[in-house]
Amino acid sequence: MGMVLKRCRYVVKSFKPFQIAEFADIVIDNGVVTCVGNCAYSQEFNVLECDDSIAMPGLVSMHTHALPEKDYVDNSINVVKMVLEQLTRYGYTAIHIVDVDTDMLEDACRIAMKIGVRISIGPIITSSKDLNKLSHLKHFKKNLYCIPSINIPSAEDVDANILTAVKEFVSTYNPSIHIHITSSESIAKTLSYYRRVGSWPITALDNLGLLTKNTCIAHASWITTWEIERIRERGSCIALAPFADAMKGVHGVAHPALFDIEKICIGIDNPWHRPSPSVLLDIISLQAVYSSKTWGIYPDMQQILHYATTLGYSVMGIEAGVIEPGKRADIAVLHANQHDLDKSLGGFLFRGLSNYTKYTIIEGKLVWKYLHSM
């Protein structure tokens, strides 16, 4: 059955360029948006009232620790389920998970499909013995809810021969696969690597052929301007974790040339180590770090939400992240009251993002409704 979000006060079709419609319907059929505006639809469609709300593209967390701590084993798969359910309540519709290994891949994918949320997930590679895990990916094909990937938790701690083996595997994998690499997270580890190897970590990855359009570098708080240029030239992605890095006190931030990279995403890092999964915490943190007084730039909310929606979906290879006909219907609908609506759209977004969504819709299905988990 199709779905209609009826007469939404605002529909943010995309954040960059900023495209918005007022008092608009969104019609969804077979998981795809078919109309935005004054739309005709079947009487059989499920109608959700949206007149006091704003609909926006669903959020993507491109770097997510589902488990509370490293090597956590107590009831782990149920913990993953709790995290995925909680993130959908805050408007997340796609989530890249970095700490669920091959022993839980199938269970995690089954849970994601049951909830109706999209996840990117795959083996964790830290040593030569982990290379055998790559064979799991030969039987693990992409579907609407489970996208295969490879996670390397620290480029500085993995031997070049192992990274080369990963590159060789990826070159034979069809279709292309996402490689998620944490690098340059702290100054101590970054400088130690340079002294040991004689190269900066991102440069070393590029020399190994691992800096490609299918590579995403996470954290990257301590990268040089020439490494930023390499990432931009290769079409790679950066996954920033602004709130997590602020709380960890990494005492570093990439040069604002970072914002010249075409593919920047946002990750919540570890939801167990923050007061809420709300993307608002990451927006505030990123704006505080790159304030006009410090760097002379100020990424506004719209720009950061572009990172957290459209660009996140682009990296995951899913035709969503904007609300327009032909795109997959992954949508977050935010609460508001009439005073909010009449006063300021920006303030409305700010307040709406700080709480549970009114609805979260993924693949045209209602996976969360306020007060009633579906």
CA 306, distance to chain mean position in Å, is 11
pTM here is 0.94
Domain that holds residue 363: 3-57+322-373
Residues 187 and 247 placed together within one structural domain of the fold:
yes
Write the pLDDT tens digit of every residue in 36-62.
999 998 889 999 999 889 999 999 999
Residues 53 and 63 placed together within one structural domain of the fold:
no
Report, as an integer, the average pLDDT of 279-295.
82
pLDDT band with cut points at 50, 70 and 90 for residue 346: confident
- The pLDDT value recorded for residue 374 is 42
Residues 237 and 303 placed together within one structural domain of the fold:
yes
DSSP letter at 329? -
Per DSSP bridges, beta strands 118-121 and 92-97 are parallel
Question: CB of 321 within 8 A of CB of 59?
Answer: no
CA quadruple 167, 145, 320, 11: dihedral sign: negative
Residues 280 and 133 placed together within one structural domain of the fold:
yes
- The pLDDT value recorded for residue 373 is 41
- The pLDDT value recorded for residue 341 is 54
Report, as an integer, the average pLDDT of 10-31.
95
In the sheet where 92-97 sits, what is the strand order? Answer: 59-64, 92-97, 118-121, 146-152, 178-183, 215-219, 237-240, 263-266
Residues 336 and 204 placed together within one structural domain of the fold:
no
275 burial type by CB count under 10 A (0-12 exposed, 13-18 middle, 19+ buried): exposed
Nearest of 145, 206, 146, 155 to residue 180 by alpha carbon: 155
Residues 117 and 24 placed together within one structural domain of the fold:
no
Assigned token pair, 257: 């040339």
**Range with the lowest mean pLDDT among 70-84, 219-233, 288-302?**
288-302
Decide which of 187 and 324 is more confident: 324
- The pLDDT value recorded for residue 290 is 81
Question: CB of 169 within 8 A of CB of 125?
Answer: no
Write the pLDDT tens digit of every residue in 110-134.
999 999 999 999 999 999 999 999 9
Residues 27 and 66 placed together within one structural domain of the fold:
no
CA angle 221, 224, 230 (to 5 degrees): 105
Residue with tokens 């290769």: 234
- The pLDDT value recorded for residue 3 is 96
Decide which of 297 and 214 is more confident: 214
Report, as an integer, the average pLDDT of 175-192.
89
- The pLDDT value recorded for residue 344 is 63
- The pLDDT value recorded for residue 338 is 57
Mean pLDDT score across all residues of the chain:
90
CA 347, distance to chain mean position in Å, is 23
**In one letter, which amino acid is 354?**
S
Report, as an integer, the average pLDDT of 318-337.
93
Neighbours of 186 (CB within 10 A): 18
- The pLDDT value recorded for residue 154 is 94
Domain termination residue (choose one: 316, 350, 365): 316
Residues 152 and 37 placed together within one structural domain of the fold:
no
| Cα 135 to Cα 178: distance, rounded to the nearest angstrom | 15
Give the three-state DSSP class for 305.
Answer: helix
pLDDT at 142 over 80: no
Domain CATH number, residue 35? 2.30.40.10
pLDDT at 35 over 50: yes
- The pLDDT value recorded for residue 185 is 86
pLDDT band with cut points at 50, 70 and 90 for residue 217: very high
Residues 43 and 103 placed together within one structural domain of the fold:
no
pLDDT at 289 over 50: yes
pLDDT at 73 over 90: no
**Range with the lowest mean pLDDT among 169-178, 196-205, 261-270?**
169-178
Domain CATH number, residue 142? 3.20.20.140
pLDDT at 90 over 90: yes
Report, as an integer, the average pLDDT of 65-76.
77
Residue with tokens 């948006």: 33
Report, as an integer, the average pLDDT of 355-363.
95
pLDDT band with cut points at 50, 70 and 90 for residue 342: low
Give the three-state DSSP class for 34.
Answer: strand
Residues 308 and 332 placed together within one structural domain of the fold:
no
**In one letter, which amino acid is 219?**
H
Domain termination residue (choose one: 273, 294, 316): 316
Q: What percent of the chain has pLDDT over 90?
A: 70
**Angle, nearest 10°, between helix axes 345-353 and 279-289?**
120
Question: CB of 93 within 8 A of CB of 362?
Answer: yes
Instruction: Please give the tally of structural domains in the chain.
Output: 2
- The pLDDT value recorded for residue 121 is 95
Decide which of 246 and 129 is more confident: 129
DSSP letter at 330? -
- The pLDDT value recorded for residue 173 is 83
C-alpha dist (Å) from residue 363 to 15, 353, 360? 20, 21, 10
CA angle 63, 142, 56 (to 5 degrees): 55
Assigned token pair, 204: 């070393």
pLDDT at 331 over 50: yes
Residues 67 and 41 placed together within one structural domain of the fold:
no
Assigned token pair, 319: 């035709």
For residue 249, give every residue at least 6 positions away whose Cβ sits within 8 Å of its Cβ, in sequence order, or none.
none
- The pLDDT value recorded for residue 314 is 96
Nearest of 124, 88, 92, 90 to residue 105 by alpha carbon: 124
Q: What percent of the chain has pLDDT over 70?
A: 93
Residues 166 and 193 placed together within one structural domain of the fold:
yes
